[in-house]
Structure 1
Amino acid sequence: MSKRPLPPINVPAVMDRLGACRIAMIELAAGSPPRSLSRAAADQMIRNIDELAWVLAGDRDHFVLKGHGRELYGGPK
Protein backbone atom coordinates (compact mmCIF):
# COMPACT_ATOMS: atom_id res chain seq x y z
CA MET A 1 0.00 0.00 0.00
CA SER A 2 1.51 3.32 -1.03
CA LYS A 3 1.08 6.60 0.79
CA ARG A 4 -0.81 9.23 -1.17
CA PRO A 5 0.90 12.61 -1.28
CA LEU A 6 -0.88 15.64 0.12
CA PRO A 7 -1.97 18.28 -2.39
CA PRO A 8 0.26 21.34 -2.51
CA ILE A 9 -0.72 23.52 0.44
CA ASN A 10 0.75 26.40 2.42
CA VAL A 11 1.55 24.44 5.59
CA PRO A 12 2.51 27.45 7.78
CA ALA A 13 -0.76 29.21 6.91
CA VAL A 14 -2.79 26.09 7.67
CA MET A 15 -0.92 25.59 10.96
CA ASP A 16 -1.65 29.22 11.95
CA ARG A 17 -5.36 28.71 11.32
CA LEU A 18 -5.37 25.40 13.18
CA GLY A 19 -3.69 27.16 16.12
CA ALA A 20 -6.44 29.77 16.23
CA CYS A 21 -9.10 27.07 16.07
CA ARG A 22 -7.37 25.11 18.84
CA ILE A 23 -7.36 28.20 21.08
CA ALA A 24 -11.10 28.64 20.46
CA MET A 25 -11.74 24.99 21.35
CA ILE A 26 -9.70 25.31 24.56
CA GLU A 27 -11.79 28.35 25.53
CA LEU A 28 -15.02 26.48 24.72
CA ALA A 29 -13.96 23.47 26.79
CA ALA A 30 -12.91 25.69 29.70
CA GLY A 31 -16.26 27.50 29.70
CA SER A 32 -18.41 24.38 29.34
CA PRO A 33 -19.84 22.34 32.20
CA PRO A 34 -18.08 19.06 32.98
CA ARG A 35 -19.46 16.05 31.09
CA SER A 36 -21.34 18.28 28.63
CA LEU A 37 -21.64 17.71 24.91
CA SER A 38 -19.89 21.00 24.16
CA ARG A 39 -16.87 20.06 26.28
CA ALA A 40 -16.68 16.59 24.74
CA ALA A 41 -16.88 18.06 21.23
CA ALA A 42 -14.21 20.66 21.99
CA ASP A 43 -11.91 18.00 23.47
CA GLN A 44 -12.34 15.83 20.39
CA MET A 45 -11.63 18.78 18.09
CA ILE A 46 -8.42 19.50 20.03
CA ARG A 47 -7.35 15.88 19.54
CA ASN A 48 -8.19 16.09 15.82
CA ILE A 49 -6.21 19.33 15.43
CA ASP A 50 -3.21 17.74 17.15
CA GLU A 51 -3.48 14.73 14.83
CA LEU A 52 -3.64 16.97 11.77
CA ALA A 53 -0.61 18.92 13.03
CA TRP A 54 1.22 15.60 13.20
CA VAL A 55 0.28 14.80 9.59
CA LEU A 56 1.24 18.25 8.29
CA ALA A 57 4.26 19.13 10.42
CA GLY A 58 5.41 15.77 11.73
CA ASP A 59 4.97 16.90 15.34
CA ARG A 60 1.92 15.84 17.32
CA ASP A 61 2.81 18.32 20.08
CA HIS A 62 3.27 21.29 17.75
CA PHE A 63 0.74 23.43 19.65
CA VAL A 64 1.61 22.21 23.14
CA LEU A 65 3.58 24.74 25.17
CA LYS A 66 5.76 24.03 28.16
CA GLY A 67 4.71 25.51 31.49
CA HIS A 68 1.47 27.41 31.80
CA GLY A 69 1.36 28.65 28.24
CA ARG A 70 0.79 32.34 28.88
CA GLU A 71 2.16 33.10 25.42
CA LEU A 72 -0.95 31.44 24.01
CA TYR A 73 -3.20 34.22 25.31
CA GLY A 74 -0.89 37.17 24.82
CA GLY A 75 0.14 37.39 28.47
CA PRO A 76 3.63 38.20 29.75
CA LYS A 77 6.31 35.84 28.55
Structure 2
Amino acid sequence: MNNEPVHKVLINRKMLLAMIPLSERTIFNLEKRGEFPRRIALTSRNVAWDLAEVDQWIEARRSNNIPATRPGLTS
Protein backbone atom coordinates (compact mmCIF):
# COMPACT_ATOMS: atom_id res chain seq x y z
CA MET A 1 0.00 0.00 0.00
CA ASN A 2 1.30 3.43 -0.95
CA ASN A 3 1.23 5.89 1.96
CA GLU A 4 2.76 8.82 0.10
CA PRO A 5 0.73 12.04 0.38
CA VAL A 6 -1.28 12.99 -2.68
CA HIS A 7 -0.70 16.57 -3.79
CA LYS A 8 -3.56 18.07 -5.74
CA VAL A 9 -2.94 20.86 -8.20
CA LEU A 10 -5.62 23.52 -8.01
CA ILE A 11 -6.35 26.08 -10.69
CA ASN A 12 -8.07 29.42 -10.29
CA ARG A 13 -10.92 30.82 -12.37
CA LYS A 14 -8.60 32.60 -14.81
CA MET A 15 -6.66 29.40 -15.53
CA LEU A 16 -9.89 27.39 -15.86
CA LEU A 17 -11.35 29.83 -18.38
CA ALA A 18 -8.09 29.67 -20.38
CA MET A 19 -8.48 25.86 -20.57
CA ILE A 20 -12.24 25.65 -21.10
CA PRO A 21 -13.66 28.02 -23.75
CA LEU A 22 -17.03 28.37 -22.03
CA SER A 23 -18.56 31.28 -20.14
CA GLU A 24 -18.51 31.39 -16.34
CA ARG A 25 -22.32 31.03 -16.38
CA THR A 26 -22.17 27.89 -18.54
CA ILE A 27 -19.55 26.32 -16.27
CA PHE A 28 -21.64 27.21 -13.21
CA ASN A 29 -24.73 25.63 -14.78
CA LEU A 30 -22.79 22.48 -15.71
CA GLU A 31 -21.53 22.27 -12.10
CA LYS A 32 -25.07 22.60 -10.73
CA ARG A 33 -26.22 19.71 -12.95
CA GLY A 34 -23.25 17.57 -11.90
CA GLU A 35 -21.79 17.66 -15.42
CA PHE A 36 -18.56 19.50 -14.54
CA PRO A 37 -16.08 19.20 -11.64
CA ARG A 38 -17.20 21.09 -8.55
CA ARG A 39 -15.33 24.15 -7.45
CA ILE A 40 -13.52 24.10 -4.11
CA ALA A 41 -14.08 27.07 -1.81
CA LEU A 42 -10.68 28.17 -0.53
CA THR A 43 -12.00 31.28 1.22
CA SER A 44 -15.30 33.13 1.19
CA ARG A 45 -14.17 34.96 -1.97
CA ASN A 46 -11.77 32.55 -3.65
CA VAL A 47 -12.50 29.26 -5.41
CA ALA A 48 -10.42 26.74 -7.34
CA TRP A 49 -10.83 23.54 -9.35
CA ASP A 50 -8.85 20.31 -9.14
CA LEU A 51 -6.72 20.23 -12.31
CA ALA A 52 -6.87 16.41 -12.53
CA GLU A 53 -10.70 16.49 -12.45
CA VAL A 54 -10.82 19.17 -15.15
CA ASP A 55 -8.39 17.17 -17.31
CA GLN A 56 -10.58 14.06 -16.87
CA TRP A 57 -13.65 16.08 -17.93
CA ILE A 58 -11.82 17.26 -21.06
CA GLU A 59 -10.72 13.72 -21.92
CA ALA A 60 -14.27 12.42 -21.44
CA ARG A 61 -15.53 15.03 -23.92
CA ARG A 62 -12.76 14.17 -26.36
CA SER A 63 -13.46 10.42 -26.26
CA ASN A 64 -17.29 10.42 -26.32
CA ASN A 65 -17.39 11.12 -30.10
CA ILE A 66 -20.79 12.81 -29.86
CA PRO A 67 -21.10 15.46 -32.59
CA ALA A 68 -21.81 18.96 -31.35
CA THR A 69 -25.25 20.27 -32.27
CA ARG A 70 -27.02 23.56 -31.75
CA PRO A 71 -30.52 23.61 -30.28
CA GLY A 72 -33.23 24.26 -32.85
CA LEU A 73 -31.16 23.20 -35.85
CA THR A 74 -32.07 20.08 -37.80
CA SER A 75 -30.26 18.40 -40.66
Same fold (TM over 0.5): no
Q: Which has the higher strand share?
A: 2
User: Highest Rg: 1 or 2?
Assistant: 2
Q: Which has the higher helix share?
A: 1
Higher relative CO (CA 8 A, sep ≥ 6), structure 1 or 2? 2
